[in-house]
Amino acid sequence: MDVQLLTFIIVGATFALYIAIAVWARAGSTNDFYVAGGGVPPVLNGMATAADWMSAASFISMAGLISFMGYDGAVYLMGWTGGYVLLALCLAPYLRKFGKFTVPDFIGDRYYSQTARTVAVFCAIFVCFTYVAGQMRGVGVVFSRFLEVDIVTGVVIGMVIVFFYTVLGGMKGITYTQVAQFCVMIFAYIVPAVFISIMVTGHILPQTGFGATLADGSGMHILQKLDNLSVELGFHEYTSGSKSTIDVFFITFALMVGTAGLPHVIVRFFTVPKVHDARKSAGYALAFIAILYTTAPSLAAFARVNMIETINGPELTGTSYEQAPSWIKNWEQTGLIEFNDKNGDGVMFYSGDERNEMKVDRDIMVLANPEIANLPAWVIALVAAGGVAAALSTSAGLLLVISTSVSHDLLKRNFAPNITDKSELFYARLAAGVAIVIAGYFGINPPGFVAQVVAFAFGLAASSFFPAIIMGIFSKRMNDKGAIAGMIAGIAFTAAYIIYFKFVNPAANVPENWWFGISPEGIGTLGMIVNFLVAFIVFKFTDEAPEEIQELVESIRYPKGAGEASAH
């Protein structure tokens, strides 16, 4: 059975499973639609949180980044992992105790201001649309190769599937669908990694294979071989960095605090019955996330060696294009690999200098890895299903945040406070439908590769939400005017920096032109500092928060038992 047919069968079966779960767990009320009725068991919520958090950037793009960037790619690994720990330990219990299940709702009530709520709504929508663009792009990349359709068609297929279970099931449908998606995703990531680890090092576990000697009898470790290959082919050493220390710090910190400010992850802590369950589900999620994140570096290293030796041959003299392995021809059809025969000899050569004749998109590394290693067709199809699951799981969570921001935070809490539960549910579904169409457009016309787009979203979250949440919990005197000014200043500064270097003047996007040597991927950290500074300056010249708000903030610092998440 060929790869395409197997892909149709396996991906089709997972789609049928997701839709069946959405029908079974369809939302019947706004409480079901927004927080799954608050009755999800901690273990299942941990799986759903892991699936929600491990997006296409984690599954498809992160190992690709590490594979191409080596040491420099570790900033994504450290930032995203550290951010989840920060969220789980320092923020989630307090937000759960507060009892408002959306970030704009928390900000609106904590800062006793409809203006603050509205600013937070627009920040949430901006962040989520930026993030979801990367997810929809991931869906398009998977489908364009494995279903042999163009990226536009692939994105449209993904839109239809997400529309069905998001609009019908709401958070309840999404939660149980994400449990299934986590299982598909993690199985699809681990299976090829185990196969390749055995082939390359003889170790079953990729994590131990990463530090083992190669099975070819050379006595060399995988990282030693990568360093040698990299230097010989004109790349920088795999285990050494080319980024400045300040940029590494700023990117890592932006990803970390951006994770802690992501609204679609925060809402997950309201889908369990109690604060204690929120803590437990956070612990389970961290364990589930660690399975993929400890595998990614080894998968990246194995894929890098296999790719170089496949393209350049064991002797690194190049490979005839006519005799190129099928995976190169397959991925060429998607436009994600290109061969430019500079010297006209018909021989492919991949390097980091003027000899290079190959353009290889980093987003293909995980998806192409089983083909490069000549693994069975069912493994290739399984990875395709995992990539789709990763992108769809996070897309659904983000789209739900957009939908609740519009229907609950903007409509019910601002413009139509007397709206009925049934009408609110209708507008939530309508907003989700409109959001899917817009997200599809950005998936077809993305502002960068998957992980880069996601990094921008984290920077925007870091510069807008994180300071407002931190000050809302730990600075009881912080007032509405300071929080509003800080959010506006932080996100405006960060967005302007990213837009200038990525869209207005991309030719200037080099370290010499960056402020303090900080790249657009790391500017969210500086935006966060701007947010804090503006907030405290404005606070110093205005009245502190009312006494009742200070008492409320004081009470949430002791997260012992909490009632149900409130939508009112």
| CA separation, residue 186 to residues 114, 148, 212, 377, 560 (Å) | 42, 24, 23, 18, 34
pLDDT band at 494 (very low <50, low <70, confident <90, very high): very high
- What pTM does this model have? 0.80
| Burial class, 2, CB count within 10 angstroms (exposed 0-12 / middle 13-18 / buried 19+) | exposed
Cβ within 8 Å of residue 217, ≥6 positions away:
none
Four-CA torsion 138, 439, 454, 173, nearest 10 degrees: -80
State whether residue 339 is helix, strand or coil: strand
Question: What is the Cα–Cα distance from 148 to 331, expressed in whole angstroms?
Answer: 10
Predicted local confidence at residue 26, as pLDDT: 67
Closest CA to 285 of 374, 148, 388, 186: 186
User: Which range among 77-81, 158-162, 514-518, 562-566 shows the weakest confidence by mean pLDDT?
Assistant: 562-566
Give strand pairing partners of 360: 337
Question: What is the Cα–Cα distance from 233 to 275, expressed in whole angstroms?
Answer: 54
Closest CA to 44 of 187, 166, 169, 172: 172
Question: What is the Cα–Cα distance from 519 to 510, expressed in whole angstroms?
Answer: 8
- Structural tokens at position 5: 């047919």
Contact 269, 562 (CB under 8 A): no
Question: What is the Cα–Cα distance from 257 to 19, expressed in whole angstroms?
Answer: 34
pLDDT band at 37 (very low <50, low <70, confident <90, very high): low
Contact 179, 285 (CB under 8 A): no
Give ∠ CA 549-555-561 in degrees, rounded to 5.
135
Please state the rounded mean pLDDT for residues 51-56: 76
Please state the rounded mean pLDDT for residues 537-553: 92
User: Which range among 24-33, 405-414, 521-530 shows the weakest confidence by mean pLDDT?
Assistant: 24-33
The full set of domains in the chain, from first to last, is 10-325+370-556 (1.20.1730.10)
- Structural tokens at position 495: 């967005």
User: Which range among 177-181, 362-366, 393-397 shows the weakest confidence by mean pLDDT?
Assistant: 393-397
Predicted local confidence at residue 53, as pLDDT: 74
